[in-house]
Amino acid sequence: MRSDQQTPTSARDIQALQAAYLRARHGLSQDEIRLHLGNVSQSHVSRLLAHATEKGWLEIELRFNDRDLSPEVMRELHQLLEPRKLAEGLRKLAQASGGFAPEVRVFDSGSDSPTAGAFDLRSRRIGRSAAGRLTELLHRSSIVGVTWGRTVGALVDGLEYAGRGLRKDRSLLFVPVTAELVTLALPDHSSTLLADRLNNSVGSGSEERLLLGGVPAFIPRRYDEAKTQAIREYVHDAASYHRIFVGENALIRQMDMIITSVGSSDRPLGGAQSELVSAGDISAAELQSLIAGDVGGVLIPKSGLSARDTALLAEINAMWTGITMEHLSWLARKAAQNGTPGVVVIAIGRERAEVIYEMMSHQLVNQLIIDWDLARALEARMPFAQHRP
């Protein structure tokens, strides 16, 4: 650390500190930084970064140096990526439900196109930008659950690409929490493989390797009680599944954080809707009428369902062998109380606004990492937006 490093006092110091944080911690370009700082010129951003380097806040390897910064200063920096209007809406939503508001960070994904090709590019871009936020959260964790999907995969890619390592003298274990789907379009983005990559790149090198690759994701609803019970006992006896989910000492009960993405109502389970429809003995149209989307395979109900539809959706969710709604709710509440990261959702695209809104209404989200397209769609659903003339 430079001997002349000091707490920022002047307006120039504060802006230089902000620019350094956005550049090094989140990988934002100078053009992106200038927008966060009030549409200043790019040359001004360049001068700010040079000033931050002189002060010691920005090191040559572009690692943000926060060792001597107070919690108050860090909170102000975090708010650079938290849109004020959306944060206000989240607080009002939390007050209305009597719960807690998630922390939100918004990054530019490059476009708002919903096409498959554009989605992959957007995922990669937000994965790189959000890797710094993931690093911040991992410093407060020891056991981390990992679901599946392209967006979670992009976040893992971003962490590896940026080379953001964590101290190896601390225990950090990544655990898969989602079983395998036969029809998963991208098997290399399975929960087991993503958790394995994280253990290899930023984990503490634990020799315990947990695999859910051989565990079926569903026990079909059409099976009778005896057959269902026999299959469930077989699943519970699988060594990794037992270690993760079964008993008071199960890893699911020790987690500080779960990293997950979400699926929209018209494309739940990463595009493996046909497998869900078949196992649930339900049509795609009826399923879409019941759910806002899914989170790691857990189906999130639409608001205002009848008692019959609520019971039907509970039956369908009961087929699932992976993480459950109860697990998510328990972890989110625990995190809100003790300050651990909790349920961390990374998502892009306005089509996921409904499922995330419903998750927040049910107090299932502690940390939200999203793009501007989704942020604007969520703002439109917030309580303050609904009362505008």
pTM value surpassing 0.85: no
- Rounded CA gap, 280 and 269, in Å? 13
d(CA 207, CA 388): 56
Return mean pLDDT, the chain. 87
Determine the pLDDT at residue 166: 55
Of the pLDDT bands very low, low, confident and very high (cuts 50, 70, 90), residue 389 is very low
Look at residue 340 in the predicted model and tell me its pLDDT: 96
**Confidence at 216, pLDDT banded by 50, 70, 90:** confident
66 vs 262: which has the higher pLDDT: 262
What is the C-alpha to C-alpha distance for residues 70 and 17, in angstroms, rounded to an integer?
13
Q: Is residue 384 over pLDDT 90?
A: no
Task: Kindly report, residue by residue over 83-141, the tens digit of the pLDDT.
Answer: 888 988 899 888 887 889 999 999 998 888 878 778 888 998 999 889 989 988 998 99
pLDDT of 1 > 50? The answer is no
Pick the CATH number of 11-76 from 1.10.10, 1.25.40, 2.60.40, 2.60.120: 1.10.10
DSSP notation for 123-155: HHHHHHHHHHHHHHHHTT-SEEEE--SHHHHHH
- Kindly report, residue by residue over 313-355, the tens digit of the pLDDT: 999 999 999 999 999 999 999 999 999 999 999 999 999 999 9
Question: What mean pLDDT do residues 280-308 have?
Answer: 94
CA distance 99 to 87: 15
Q: Are 189 and 150 in contact (CB under 8 A)?
A: yes
Order across the sheet with 291-295: list the strands.
262-264, 291-295, 298-301
Every domain of the chain and the residues it spans: 11-76, 82-387
Domain 82-387 = CATH 3.40.50.1360: yes
Measured N-to-C along each axis, helices 150-162 and 191-201 cross at an angle, to the nearest 10 degrees, of 10
Judge whether 385 and 120 are in contact, CB under 8 Å.
Answer: no
Higher-pLDDT residue of 194 and 160 is: 194
